[in-house]
């Protein structure tokens, strides 16, 4: 007998995952350590925080009373997702540093209701997060295609698949603020290259405010942020056979009012040398020496518009929460002939 309904496509067909990291992950970490820990002022890039434990700690940070950015960004999204769906008419949502895509669901709901959404393209350096999020979202949104990209948005933006239609690139959580001004503009220019004339960038940025509020957000009472910061040492121990003792370091978070960014550091409690065996590299710390592990830039509307402009983008909407703690901005490729690059004061 003929079946009444044609066979349903199997769930797997909705998911495709590309990985651009296999084998190179450790090498990048090794290069970053060799480069960063032999400088006069030691420094590590932030992307190495997010192993399984780091990702879990970050999720818990997002729930802390002191860490307002996640709540503020979610509030803006909840309030404005319908408008954003209308304005962008997006068929495809690309998300950079997608993590668990917790807030993204608000946007996916609105695009889904508008009936335009066909594909979600999450990109993250953490393989597990891309895979889990693809599984969950294809279940939650029947018919949605998820094309996950395991990769580094500083190096692999060119591997984002060809647009399936009108596209929104989401870059949430203030992650763009984790890059110093020059790199920030370079990344924004590369993101702009992913956009056609009808496409948009939706970006979350934390705003300048009372330093006490800012510092508390990066140095909570429970010590979760301290644990997250020190976790990067455990990543080095595991991946590069290093011998850091997290107990040898204090967590430091301070607002640099000249640059208007939060700086996160690990301060050596005593003079010591830690061996990084995979690199045959002894790393010496003086007592009290500080190593920078992250910056988190805080924005004003002027700073953000200057950065967008330098990347060939123009602001469409500036959305904030009632207390103006955080901003969500929608921008698009600038119209007109002004092919400006890097103009203006990058701070």
Q: Which residues bind ligand SAH (CB under 6 A)?
A: 47, 50, 58, 62, 70, 97-99, 103, 123-126, 129, 152-154, 172-173, 175
CA distances from 253 to 37, 134, 211, 218, 296 (A): 19, 34, 11, 6, 10
Tell me how far, at minimum, the Cβ of 69 lies from ligand TRP, in Å: 5
Number of residues that bind ligand TRP (CB under 6 A): 15
First to last CA, the chain: 71
- Residue nearer to ligand TRP on the CB measure, 36 or 69: 69
How many CA atoms are closer than 13 Å to the CA of 294, on its beta-carbon side? 26
Spatial neighbors of 241 by CB under 8 A, at least 6 apart, are: 276, 277, 278
Q: Which does 172 bind (CB under 5 to 8 A by kind): ligand TRP, ligand SAH, none?
A: ligand SAH
Tell me how far, at minimum, the Cβ of 69 lies from ligand SAH, in Å: 8
Q: Per rule CB under 6 A, is residue 178 in the interface with ligand TRP?
A: yes
CA distances from 136 to 132, 145, 170 (A): 6, 12, 19
Helix and strand element counts for the chain (H, E): 9, 13
Phi, psi of 253 (to 5 degrees): -130, 120
- Residue nearer to ligand SAH on the CB measure, 150 or 283: 150
Q: Which of 36, 99, 177, 181 binds ligand TRP (CB under 6 A)?
A: 177
Phi, psi of 156 (to 5 degrees): -115, 20
Tell me how far, at minimum, the Cβ of 97 lies from ligand SAH, in Å: 3
Residue number with the shortest CB distance to ligand TRP? Answer: 296
Q: Which of 61, 129, 133, 187 binds ligand TRP (CB under 6 A)?
A: 61
274: nearest Cα among 265, 283, 262: 283
- Residue nearer to ligand SAH on the CB measure, 109 or 285: 109
Cα torsion through 73, 110, 133, 68, rounded to 10: 10
Contacting range for ligand TRP; rule: CB under 6 A; set: 10-18, 127-135, 175-183, 266-274: 175-183
Site for ligand TRP in 93-132 (CB under 6 A): none
Q: Which of 50, 120, 171, 228 binds ligand TRP (CB under 6 A)?
A: 228
Give 232-237's long-range contacts (Cβ < 8 A, gap of 24+).
Answer: 232/44, 232/48, 232/49, 232/54, 232/266, 232/293, 233/266, 234/51, 234/53, 235/29, 235/48, 235/49, 235/51, 235/54, 236/29, 236/33, 236/48, 236/276
- Residue nearer to ligand TRP on the CB measure, 88 or 104: 104
Q: Which of 36, 45, 69, 99 binds ligand TRP (CB under 6 A)?
A: 69
- Residue nearer to ligand TRP on the CB measure, 157 or 203: 203
Site for ligand TRP in 272-301 (CB under 6 A): 294, 296
Q: Which of 68, 171, 179, 218 binds ligand TRP (CB under 6 A)?
A: 218
Q: How does strand 249-256 pair with strand 261-268?
A: antiparallel
Q: Which residue ranges make up the site for ligand TRP (CB under 6 A)?
A: 49, 61, 69, 173-175, 177-178, 218, 225, 228-229, 264, 294, 296
């Amino acid at each position: 007998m003929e079946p009444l309904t044609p066979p349903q496509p199997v769930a797997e067909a909705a998911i495709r995952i590309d990985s651009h990291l296999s084998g190179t992950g450790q090498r990048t970490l090794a290069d970053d350590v060799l480069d960063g820990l032999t400088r006069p002022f030691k420094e590590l890039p932030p992307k190495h925080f997010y192993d399984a434990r780091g990702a879990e700690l970050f999720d818990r940070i997002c729930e802390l009373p002191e860490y307002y950015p996640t709540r503020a960004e979610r509030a803006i999204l909840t309030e404005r997702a319908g408008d954003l769906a209308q304005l962008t008419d997006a068929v495809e949502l690309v998300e950079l540093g997608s993590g668990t895509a917790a807030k993204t669901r608000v946007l996916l709901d609105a695009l889904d209701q508008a009936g335009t959404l066909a594909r979600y393209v999450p990109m993250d350096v953490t393989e597990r997060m891309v895979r889990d999020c693809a599984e969950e979202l294809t279940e939650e949104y029947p018919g949605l295609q998820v094309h996950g990209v395991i990769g580094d948005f500083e190096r692999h933006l060119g591997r984002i698949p060809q647009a399936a239609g009108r596209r929104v690139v989401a870059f949430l959580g203030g992650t763009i603020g984790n890059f110093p001004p020059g790199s920030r503009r370079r990344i924004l220019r590369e993101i702009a290259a992913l956009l056609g004339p009808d496409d948009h960038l939706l970006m979350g940025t934390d705003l300048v405010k009372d330093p006490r509020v800012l510092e508390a957000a990066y140095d909570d009472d429970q010590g979760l942020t301290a644990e997250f910061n020190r976790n990067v040492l455990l990543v080095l121990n595991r991946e590069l056979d290093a011998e850091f003792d997290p107990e040898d370091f204090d967590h430091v978070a301070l607002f640099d009012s000249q640059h208007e960014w939060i700086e996160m550091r690990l301060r050596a409690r005593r003079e010591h040398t830690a061996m990084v065996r995979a690199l045959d590299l002894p790393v010496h710390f003086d007592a009290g020496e500080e190593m920078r592990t992250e910056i988190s830039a805080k924005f004003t509307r002027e700073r953000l518009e200057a950065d967008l402009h330098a990347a060939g983008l123009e602001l469409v909407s500036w959305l904030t929460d009632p207390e103006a703690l955080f901003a969500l901005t929608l921008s698009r490729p600038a119209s007109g002939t002004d092919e400006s690059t890097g103009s203006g004061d990058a701070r």
